[in-house]
Amino acid sequence: MQLTIRNLSKTYPNGVKALQDVSLDIPTGMYGLLGPNGAGKSTLMRILATLQDADSGTATLDDINVLKDKDAVRRLLGYLPQEFGVYPRISALEMLRHLAVLKGIPGAQQKEVVNALLERVNLWDHRKKAVSSYSGGMRQRFGIAQALLGDPKLIIVDEPTAGLDPGERNRFYNLLSEIGENVIVILSTHIVEDVKELCSNMAIINSGQVLYAGTPDAALTALQGQVWEKAIAKAEIEDYQNRYQVISSKLVAGKPIIHVLSETNPGDGFQAADADLEDVFFAKILAGQLTV
Ligand code: ADP
């Protein structure tokens, strides 16, 4: 399986260029699509999920034309949208059985398939409760169960960990990491940790443009030796932002520690820092803004 996206563009009627000439090669395994809010991630996910049309460009899944042959894509697709509506009072079990019918899973297999999925996402004990009463984490696990119905080969999950607490997020990571190596899983997120924990390949997008595509490791290696850190006073932040390319600032015990990008040692009390994926993300976004 291979998803090949070439020169995909989409401009909304209000003039927002949500995607500009996006080209990506997405192999099997977990693929992270990382970008801040408004980057164009959901637009790309909805186009790949056949829910929205692109203006131009192509997308092919092996030999399927994703933009034209929508029925063929839908047969292979599992989609967890950013927000999904659930009916009040309908239990997870009823809902999954209903969706299994819609997915065309043969009657004799429905019960077994649904039960296995409920076990797999660890909701068996809660199967008779209304999905609308679930916690955020349970709801997202239910979302994965419905996305996995019918053995999809292309799975798209859009911002799945937003709003989950750390424990729920970890359970969700474990679930995603078990999906398997032989399918394509695209994880769209603005949370760097999601990609760090799960993805063997990634892209960073902002303003509808691809700023990086490759492995997280290659991005980290490229940045090694260029990230410097220093603890400063809160009042100094603006001054440092004016003088350096500040890519992040974190509070540690109430004191800001800034990371700056520089090919040479800036001196001034800065120390070499190990680049992390967070640095990659902000460095790429900063570089993207400087070239616009
Ligand atoms: P992300 O998922 O990365 O947050 P989106 O794809 O939702 O990004 O949005 C990309 C840009 O397109 C944003 O500027 C957003 O405001 C705009 N946008 C999204 N959907 C629409 C729409 N239906 N009509 C007009 N603008 C939209």
Statement to judge: residues 120 and 250 lie in one domain = no
16 and 159 share one domain: yes
Query: Are 110 and 47 contained in the same domain?
Result: yes
Mutational pocket test of ligand 1: of 12, 80, 188, the residue with most ligand atoms within 8 Å of the beta carbon: 12
Residues 215 and 277 sit within 8 Å (Cβ to Cβ):
no
Shared-domain flag, residues 178 and 270: no
Whole-number pLDDT of residue 14: 97
Q: Which of 138, 119, 89, 107 is nearest to 98 (CA)?
A: 107
Per-residue pLDDT reduced to its tens digit, 160-198? 998 888 888 998 898 898 887 899 999 999 999 999 989
pTM passes above 0.85: yes
Ligand 1 centroid from CA 11, angstroms = 10
Residues 19 and 130 in one domain: yes
254 belongs to a structural domain: yes
Question: Ligand 1: which of 43, 157, 187 to mutate, judged by most atoms within 8 Å of the beta carbon?
Answer: 43
Work out how many domains the chain is built from and give that number: 2
Question: Do 116 and 251 share a structural domain?
Answer: no
85 with 209, same domain? yes
- Closest residue by CA, ligand 1 atom 27: 12
What CATH number is given to the structural domain containing 67? 3.40.50.300
| AA letter at 203 | A
Summarize pLDDT for 39-80 with one digit per residue, the tens: 999 999 999 999 999 999 999 999 999 999 999 999 999 999
* Domain span including residue 254: 225-274
In the structure, which protein residues have their CB atom closer than 6 angstroms to any atom of ligand 1?
Answer: 12, 14, 16, 18, 35, 37-43
Same domain, 211 and 232: no
Residue 178 shares a structural domain with residue 48: yes
Do 123 and 237 lie in one domain? The reply is no
Q: Is 112 helix (H, G, I), strand (E, B) or coil?
A: helix
Q: In what order do the strands lie in the sheet with 271-272?
A: 245-252, 255-261, 227-231, 271-272
Residue 257 and residue 190 in one domain: no
**Does residue 280 form part of some domain?**
no
> Does 186 share its domain with 237?
no
Q: Which of 215, 244, 264 is the last residue of a domain?
A: 215
